[in-house]
Amino acid sequence: MPYGFLDIALTPGVVAAQARMGVDQHWQDFKGNRRFERFTEAEAAFIAERDSFYMATVSETGWPYVQHRGGPRGFLKLVDDRTLAFADYRGNLQYISTGNIGSDDKVSLILMDYARRARLKLFAHAEIVMPEDEPELARLVAPEGYRAKVERIFRLRLEAFDWNCPQHIIPRFTAEEVSAATRMMQERIAVLEAENAALKARLAGAAG
Q: Write the CATH number for 61.
A: 2.30.110.10
Q: Do residue 59 and residue 104 come from a single domain? A: yes
* Model pLDDT, residue 143: 78
pLDDT range class, residue 33, cuts 50, 70, 90 = low
- Strand 150-164 relative to strand 77-80, pairing: unpaired
Q: Do residue 162 and residue 192 come from a single domain? A: no
208 is in which domain, residue-wise?
A: 173-208
Question: What's the pLDDT tens digit per position in 155-193?
Answer: 999 999 999 888 888 888 888 888 887 888 888 888 888
Mean pLDDT within 31-39:
76
Q: Do residue 182 and residue 128 come from a single domain? A: no
Q: Do residue 24 and residue 119 come from a single domain? A: no
Q: By percentage, how much of the chain surpasses pLDDT 90?
A: 50
pLDDT range class, residue 112, cuts 50, 70, 90 = very high
Q: Do residue 78 and residue 44 come from a single domain? A: yes
* Model pLDDT, residue 156: 98
Q: Do residue 152 and residue 192 come from a single domain? A: no
Number of domains in the chain: 3
Closest CA to 170 of 122, 128, 100, 113: 113
C-alpha angle 87-92-98 in degrees, rounded to nearest 5: 50
Q: Do residue 87 and residue 1 come from a single domain? A: no
- What's the predicted TM-score (pTM) here? 0.80
Q: Do residue 181 and residue 99 come from a single domain? A: no
* Model pLDDT, residue 177: 81
* Model pLDDT, residue 11: 84
Q: Do residue 160 and residue 195 come from a single domain? A: no
- Strand 106-113 relative to strand 118-129, pairing: antiparallel
pLDDT at 1 over 60: no
Q: Do residue 133 and residue 163 come from a single domain? A: yes
Q: Do residue 50 and residue 135 come from a single domain? A: yes
- Where residue 92 falls (left for φ over 0; alpha for ψ -120 to 50; beta otherwise) is alpha
Closest CA to 87 of 160, 45, 144: 144
pLDDT range class, residue 208, cuts 50, 70, 90 = low
Q: Do residue 133 and residue 198 come from a single domain? A: no
